[in-house]
Amino acid sequence: MYDWDIDFKQIEKDTQTYKDDHLPSELRKNAKYTNYSYYPMEPTKNDTQSEAGYYREMQEVMLRGKYVDGLHINHTYTAMAQMLLIKQMVKTDKWRMVSDDDMVLKSAIKKVFSAEIQQGKLHYFINTFDKTLSREDAFQEFIDSNKHLRNWAESNGLTEHSDYEAAVEFLKRRLAVHKFYETKVAPDGTQYNVHKSNKIEHPIAMADRGSRYIDVLTDTSKLSDEHLARLIVRANDNAVNAFLQPGRRCMMNGCKNPPFQSKGD
């Protein structure tokens, strides 16, 4: 994303006003701009920055200023804007988020939906794979996973269950002892839950990517084991991949009419 309404004069004015040139980048007023969240300020007597360092920064800014006005926006803030749009468009009191282990998405979702997360209205699942697997190894894991689930269902008297129901029952029993959070005690004696990285293997692998592992970043302490098991079984990125696949095929094959192209482009 690109912001055409910002220029270095405004960045300089903000830096002089808020004196945030030496603060961590996330605390600056203009933190959303990738490489230019502040304007270089001449070092004072108590400044740890050297004159040489100041002049190097000024040279970079002056060189960048010779090009078009405007600045690129940090990916996290771009994702936050997209999440805010989704939040405005989708009217629901229950949210279920699934993504890969992406720091930008995790940060954006946690910030935009902080109230929903605190109220237990949103649960966020991380879906990961072993990306080093070949397609052949991934498919073998898929076959082995299905065999293991069917054998488990048979040994537990669940032969009449579908793969989905067998997977739910399998996870429900695992979740009796497997937790994605740990309980801590505040100085005043109040108990609170924090996320504990504790991925669980999904009982149904993917034919093209093999075994997958699910982590839950939100507090699941108020969900029953069965409810959580059903959420985990349904946690996948198939819809996203189906949406993006035409675009991938287009780029690989050099098609003349890209899918997602808006009218007037």
Q: Would you state the pLDDT for residue 17?
A: 94
State the average pLDDT over residues 137-155.
96
Give percent above pLDDT 70 in the chain: 94
The predicted structure's pLDDT at residue 26: 74
Angle made by CA atoms 215, 217, 221, in degrees to the nearest 5: 95
Q: What is the average pLDDT across 219-231?
A: 95
| φ and ψ at residue 216, rounded to 5 degrees | -120, 120
> Hey, what amino acid is at 74?
N
pLDDT tens per residue across span 41-53: 999 888 888 899 9
Whether 264 has a pLDDT exceeding 60, the answer reads no
Report pTM: 0.75
Which residues are 127's β-sheet partners? 214
- Between helix 51-65 and helix 8-18 the angle, nearest 10°, is 150
pLDDT reported for residue 265: 41
Closest residue by Cα to residue 207 from 130, 163, 142, 135:
142
- What single-letter amino acid sits at 68? V
DSSP notation for the chain: -EETT--HHHHHHHHHHH--TTS-GGGSTTTTBSS-SS------TT-SS-HHHHHHHHHHHHHHHTS-S-EEBPHHHHHHHHHHHHHHH---S-EEEEE-S-HHHHHHHHHHTHHHHHTT-EEEEEEEE-TT--HHHHHHHHHHHHHHHHHHHHHTT-TTS-HHHHHHHHHHHHTTT--SEEEEE-TTS-EEEEE----EE-SS-BTTTB-EEEEE-S--TTS-HHHHHHHHHH---HHHHHHHHHHHHHHHHT-SS-TTPPTT-
pLDDT reported for residue 153: 96
- Among residues 176, 221, 172, 226, the alpha carbon closest in space to that of 196 is found at 221
pLDDT at 252 over 90: no
Reported confidence tier of residue 72, pLDDT bands at 50, 70, 90: confident
pLDDT for 48 equals 84
- Give the largest Cα separation in the chain, rounded: 79
Q: Is residue 154 predicted with pLDDT exceeding 70?
A: yes
- Give tens-digit pLDDT for 97-113: 999 998 889 999 999 99
* Average pLDDT value for the chain: 89
- What is the domain partition of the chain in residue ranges? 2-72, 92-243
Supply the pLDDT for residue 146.
Answer: 94
